[in-house]
Amino acid sequence: MTFADISAPPAPAYQNLGELGALWEHVAARPHARVLEIGSLFGGTLWYWSHLPSIEILVAVDLPSDWEQVADDVREAREHWSDWVTPRVPVFVNLSADSHAAETLTTVTDILAGSHFDFAFIDGDHTYEGVRADWLAWSTLVRPGGVVAFHDTWPNADRQEPGVVRWIDELRGHLPSIEWTDPDGAGIAAFTLPS
């Protein structure tokens, strides 16, 4: 299966599909049995992760949206996440929780039962402090040689997330990375953790 073979998600994914597809192919080519997503909004990206060919565990950590104009639609979509994901993923955990809270990290650590994630996608808090805190907390649960990716890493004319861009600029100097940018996208960067 390739990214192009996956049908459109039943809810929006707020990523440029060229960028997301390149990341999906990158992850699919590596060990990826255990996947974490921080920040899911409607769940469109969960749909794509659930189609990874060898996925066994998918964990979503996200707070309900306070973005009033979409809050009802987000709540409606979330009621169906298990229906979309569980036919393909043996273990799906949806945590409506703060990714910065210590108890959330403890809960997910307990779910892993001594193992680690192979891949984490961070697209939650877009402030510099928030995205940095997500990295510091959640990258510790990704195995050596695993991948941590971020969305909104490159400013474009329509969308700019200076906090994420600043953090990614700092992280680039410390770890091997690959970045996908499309003129109509907002950038996705993937970092490989030291083995």
Phi, psi of 76 (to 5 degrees): -60, -45
pLDDT at residue 68 tops 80: no
Q: What is the pLDDT of residue 157?
A: 63
pTM for the full predicted model: 0.95
Q: What is the pLDDT of residue 92?
A: 98
pLDDT at residue 185 tops 90: no
Phi, psi of 63 (to 5 degrees): -90, 150
pLDDT at residue 123 tops 70: yes
Task: Tell me the residue range of the domain where 142 lies.
Answer: 3-192
What letters, b where the CB count within 10 A reaches 16 and e where it falls short, cover 31-40? ebebbbbbbb
8-state DSSP, 3: G
* Non-local CB neighbours of 131 within 8 Å, separated by 6+ positions: 122, 124, 125, 150, 163, 164, 167
31-64 pLDDT per residue, tens: 999 999 999 999 999 999 999 999 999 999 998 7
CB 99 within 8 A of CB 38: yes
Confidence band of 176 (pLDDT split at 50, 70, 90):
very high
Residue with tokens 């961070």: 122
More confident: 158 or 94: 94
> CA distances (Å), 21 to each of 61, 73, 140, 155, in order?
22, 25, 25, 19
Mean pLDDT across the chain: 94
Q: What is the pLDDT of residue 67?
A: 67
pLDDT at residue 102 tops 90: yes
CATH number at 150 reads 3.40.50.150
pLDDT at residue 159 tops 70: no
Q: What is the pLDDT of residue 66?
A: 67
Q: Average pLDDT in the 119-129 region?
A: 95
- The structural domain count of the chain equals 1
